[in-house]
Amino acid sequence: MKIKLLSVAALLLASVAPKTHAQTYVLDKTVDLTGDGGYDYVSIDKVNNRLYASHGTMVNVVDLATDKQIGVIENMKGVHGIAIDNKADRGFISDGRANAIVAFDLKSLKTLATIPLEGANGPDAIIYDPYSDRVFSFNGESNNSSVVDPNTLKQVGTVALNGGPEFAVSDGKGLIYNNLEDKNSLNVIDAKAMKVIRNYPLAPGGGPTGIALDEKNQRTFSVCRENKGLEVMDVKTGKVVATVPIGAGVDAVAYDPETKLVFASNGDGTATIIKQESADKYNVIQTLKTQNRAKTMALDPKTHKIYFTVATYEGTTRKVVPNSFKVLVYKIQ
């Protein structure tokens, strides 16, 4: 009987071990992209299975089925973010230097319109909110958000944010959460009313950039540069319930509700991978080596792969080595 019990225990341990091992990320491949210049946000169109990478004056488009570049969207002045509206089959790019939003067709990748933004300066982050059926750009130099109708391609409003905005995320139910980098706080925006209805401090977090949302548990994840921490907030109460150490120079964060993993992309050449044990308990399970200045990323929730855009720089300068822009693709081992 003892032998049988030990055999059963050994089998149970063996069944558990691969699950832990399966959440270790390794480099899958590198995807070369055309063009030179700076880079910022990365976005994934889940419906059309494409990745969009902002890149200087253009956006590189990658087919996620083949991990090959299939096109570019060009002739902009200074690209930052890309928002996807599958309902209208349109994408929207924040052109920071032009103080405009550029609309394009998701199928053909052709530019449809350039929408000038009134009262805006430096549009940076951009999202599509399905509840209000509107596009919101977050303007870092004018402390506000420009609201655009994705169907008429016209600006329909402006939201005063009372601070310098960074990334934002929609809950799909009428609320948008947006980090204020200079105020070390998080705004709660009523998407239809187009106004801030609450503001919560992120202390001990400082200099928040990226934000992600766990819809089921109503937790936001804000990554902060000043304290090198990920701040987990209960957005029902506005309380920070956990602080998790991450790397330096963080920009983006993503949450995978299936694997219960949180990813922070750090400019120091690492990505911090965090396991969500429960709504308020988190543990770092891997410090993934990426590449210096690979600070932005996107998660494909279907394959669980993570994608980082990066270029090679000459020494310690900010000068990019020609033809070195690429996507680093990591997968579960």
pLDDT at residue 23, rounded to an integer: 79
pLDDT at residue 319 in the model: 87
Residue owning tokens 């990226």: 210
From the list 198, 158, 156, the residue with the least C-alpha distance to 177 is 198
Task: Give backbone dihedrals phi and psi of 197, rounded to 5 degrees, phi first.
Answer: -110, -20
Identify any residues that bridge with 211 across adjacent strands, giving them in sequence order.
222
Q: CA dist 1 to 5, 65, 228, 257, Å?
A: 6, 51, 52, 41
Contact between residue 251 and residue 264 where contact means Cβ atoms under 8 Å apart: no
> How far apart are the C-alpha atoms of 163 and 148, rounded to whole Å?
20
Q: Is the dihedral of CA 133, 138, 144, 150 positive or negative?
A: negative
Exposed/middle/buried for residue 222 (C-beta within 10 Å: 0-12, 13-18, 19+): buried
What's the confidence (pLDDT) of residue 5? Answer: 44
Rg (CA), the chain: 20
Report the SS3 class of residue 197: strand
Q: Give the model's pLDDT for residue 7.
A: 45
Rounded-to-integer distance, Cα 156 and Cα 94, Å:
16
Q: Residue 316 has what pLDDT?
A: 84
Task: Tell me the pLDDT of the chain (333 aa) as tens digits.
Answer: 444 444 444 444 434 433 444 579 999 999 999 998 899 999 999 999 999 999 999 999 999 999 999 999 999 999 999 999 999 999 999 999 999 999 999 999 999 999 999 999 999 999 999 999 999 999 999 999 999 999 999 999 999 999 999 999 999 999 999 999 999 999 999 999 999 999 999 999 999 999 999 999 999 999 999 999 999 999 999 999 999 999 999 999 999 999 999 999 999 999 999 999 999 999 999 999 999 999 999 999 999 999 999 999 988 888 889 999 999 999 999
Rounded to whole angstroms, the Cα distance separating 202 from 222 reads 8
Instruction: In whole angstroms, give the CA distance from residue 5 to residue 96.
Output: 65
Distance CA 22, CA 132 (A): 38
Q: Which three-class secondary structure state does DSSP give residue 40?
A: strand
Residue 8: per-residue pLDDT: 43
